[in-house]
Amino acid sequence: MSIETLNIARRALNEALGDKVTTYFNHMKMWFRMKLTKEEFDTEARSLLSSEQVRYHNEFLLALLNKVEGLAETSISIAQEKTNSHNRNSRRNKRNSRSTSEKSNFETADIIEYLPPNSPPGAGSDSVKYAVQEVFLPDHALVVGRFMLAAWELGLEGAEDEAADLIVVAVQNFLKNILSAVISQRKGYKRRGKNFIYDLGCEVPNMWLRNSANVYDPQSDGRVTVDDGADALGPRCPPTIDEMEQATAMEIACSVPDVEPNEDRITIDEVYNTLLINKNIIASHSVYAINMERIAAMLDHPSY
């Protein structure tokens, strides 16, 4: 498994580094936090190690990137270019020492050396502290990388893929909870049982009209019914499309006409008020308190 190769490479690197382990891993942490680009991390690492030990560094990086798919292809090619250029340098020296009268060969420049660095330059990599302040949600590769780093620092063996999967889904859940709460403050919705909110943005029947009492949703009865099969329970025949259309038309007829234009964007004010009312969306008090203070500070102005 690739975890084994990764661990073997890591142990070999640790032995080679000796005392400089902490500096090396500090550089690696900064690379993950996007404070260093890959090239800078590479140059720092090479300055720490002697030329034979660079091999361990390369192997370790290759194993890590193989583990973390998606980053593998570009980085393997970059690492191979580096080793090739290293070999080419030593070969060129030998050739020059042997034949001095040979014309120096023309070699095309190595394009990789002239490419801009990997991370987007405008991302403000100096001020970015957390990898998620770029606009994307954390993906599997990034989370696995950070987990493994943290695990090694604490002396653990590494991180599994399923832990990273859990975190990715958890972040999405969290954001969806906040968004659902904000939108349900603005628009109508229907409820199934006591807990299940659906159909956000539906037409809310006007309770002062007499026909609103007859508004009936054919889907609200569930899918189970007692019938004549051998088990006495069976799936119920679902409503026909005509029934559904008729129920929707009735609902629209009973609802209040919406005259105001639909302001689609969610404002910071709405988020602030929603979080004030539903404190349980953010279960951890320290996260909640710090972020609410930040928002309040943003909404504040000395002239208020």
Partner 1 sequence: MVSYFTLDGAGEGAVNFQKEISNMMHGFGDNPNPNAATVVLVESIVLQQLRNMLQDAWHWAQMRGVKVITNYEVIFLMRKNKMKLKRLFDYQKKLDSIEKKQFVINNAEEGVMSGVLEEESDPPSKKRRNHTDIIKDLDEQDEVLHIKFDVIDYLRKVRAAKISEIMSFEKYEAYHKARCSSFRSTGSGINKNFAKLEKWINSGKEYKLMQSALEVLSFLAYETVADLVDAVFLIRQDAKKKSGDPFSKFEGGSFCNPASLSNAVYIKSGFEGVSAITVAEIREVIRRFYTPTVGMNGLFSRNISSDISSKYIAI
Query: Which residues lie near partner 1 (CB under 8 A)?
Result: 169, 173, 176-177, 180-181, 184, 192, 194-201, 203, 218-219, 221-245, 248, 252, 262, 277-281, 283
Report the nearest approach of partner 1 to the CB of residue 234 (Å).
Answer: 5
The token pair that represents 61 in the structure block: 């990086």
The token pair that represents 208 in the structure block: 């002062």
Report the nearest approach of partner 1 to the CB of residue 70 (Å).
Answer: 20
Closest to partner 1 by CB, 39 vs 217, is 217
Closest to partner 1 by CB, 180 vs 291, is 180
Report the nearest approach of partner 1 to the CB of residue 197 (Å).
Answer: 6
Closest to partner 1 by CB, 207 vs 283, is 283
Closest to partner 1 by CB, 277 vs 290, is 277
CA distance 204 to 201: 9
Closest to partner 1 by CB, 48 vs 271, is 271
Report the nearest approach of partner 1 to the CB of residue 147 (Å).
Answer: 19
Residue keyed to tokens 């720092």 = 44
Look at residues 196, 180, 187 and name the one whose alpha carbon lies nearest to residue 281. Answer: 180
Closest to partner 1 by CB, 71 vs 202, is 202
Closest to partner 1 by CB, 4 vs 162, is 162
Report the nearest approach of partner 1 to the CB of residue 252 (Å).
Answer: 6
Report the nearest approach of partner 1 to the CB of residue 30 (Å).
Answer: 34
Closest to partner 1 by CB, 107 vs 264, is 264
Report the nearest approach of partner 1 to the CB of residue 132 (Å).
Answer: 20
Q: Are 59 and 12 in contact (CB under 8 A)?
A: yes
β-strands 224-226, 233-235: how paired?
antiparallel
CA distance 276 to 273: 5
Report the nearest approach of partner 1 to the CB of residue 175 (Å).
Answer: 11
Question: Which residues neighbour 53 within 8 Å (Cβ) at sequence distance 6 or greater?
Answer: 16, 17
Q: Are 27 and 36 in contact (CB under 8 A)?
A: yes
β-strands 233-235, 196-198: how paired?
unpaired
